[in-house]
């Protein structure tokens, strides 16, 4: 009897995981990092401390997924206060005028075992450009502590900041910027807000 009950519970858990589609990004376990070259001597890395967003995920058909992310530019953090201020200034992000960066997916493609290519529109500094994120699926299943459907991914892409109207100091300060994202999300219960 106990075995039958356990099997039923596991089956119910699996069905719930397979049918859950609305996920909310867990901002406390999500990071967006950026790296750029500085005068040929170093590669500076920073991050954005705040990330929010949602996505629709069907574990049975990942290519039907959609994601939307928002990043407040004021949350930029390099570990150097003066650099944070300079990057937020009109020389770069101009955070007062353009306070938010966004990414909205337009297409998800299977890129091999455990891999996806996520195309979408990246908006920075008021300029929107198409980019493709190379995504690694870290895991999709039940969260071990919260006991709800969860998913985790890593993603990378390289952009040119000059494409977004942020070309000051090129080439001394590198034009190419590598973005690295690690993301966790959990399913939103049907009776709650995203």
Residue 193: the pLDDT is: 55
DSSP output for 1-49 = -HHHHHHHHHHHHHHHHHH--EEEE-GGG-EEEEEEEETTTEEEEEEES
Residue 9: the pLDDT is: 35
Which CATH architecture describes the domain 2-187? Beta Barrel (2.40)
Phi, psi of 98 (to 5 degrees): -130, 80
Residue 15: the pLDDT is: 38
CA nearest to 166, candidates 86, 105, 110, 109: 86
Residue 13: the pLDDT is: 39
Residues near 187 by beta carbon (within 8 Å), at least 6 away in sequence: 17, 20, 21, 22, 23, 24, 148, 149, 150
Domain layout of the chain by residue ranges: 2-187
Residue 20: the pLDDT is: 39
Contact between 150 and 187 (Cβ < 8 Å): yes
- Over the chain (194 residues), what is each successive 10-residue block's mean pLDDT? 36 41 92 96 96 91 94 97 97 97 97 96 98 97 90 97 97 97 89 56
Residue 51: the pLDDT is: 95
Handedness of CA 25, 28, 30, 32 (dihedral sign): positive
pTM: 0.85
């Amino acid at each position: 009897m106990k075995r039958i009950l356990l099997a039923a519970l596991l089956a119910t858990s699996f069905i719930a995981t397979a049918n859950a589609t609305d996920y909310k990004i867990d901002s406390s376990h999500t990071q967006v990092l950026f790296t750029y070259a500085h005068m040929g001597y170093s590669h500076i890395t920073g991050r954005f401390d705040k990330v929010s967003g949602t996505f629709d995920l069907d574990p049975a058909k990942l290519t039907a997924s959609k994601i939307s992310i928002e990043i407040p530019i004021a949350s930029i953090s390099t570990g150097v206060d003066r650099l944070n201020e300079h990057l937020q200034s009109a020389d770069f992000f101009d955070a007062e005028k353009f306070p938010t960066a966004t990414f909205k997916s337009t297409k998800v493609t299977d890129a091999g075992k455990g891999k996806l290519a996520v195309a979408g529109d990246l908006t920075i500094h008021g300029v929107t450009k198409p980019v493709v994120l190379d995504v690694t699926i870290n895991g999709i299943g039940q969260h071990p502590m919260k006991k709800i459907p969860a998913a985790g991914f890593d993603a990378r892409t390289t952009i040119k900041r000059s494409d977004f109207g942020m070309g000051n100091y090129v080439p001394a300060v590198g034009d190419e910027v590598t973005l690295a994202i690690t993301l966790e999300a959990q399913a939103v219960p049907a009776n709650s807000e995203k």
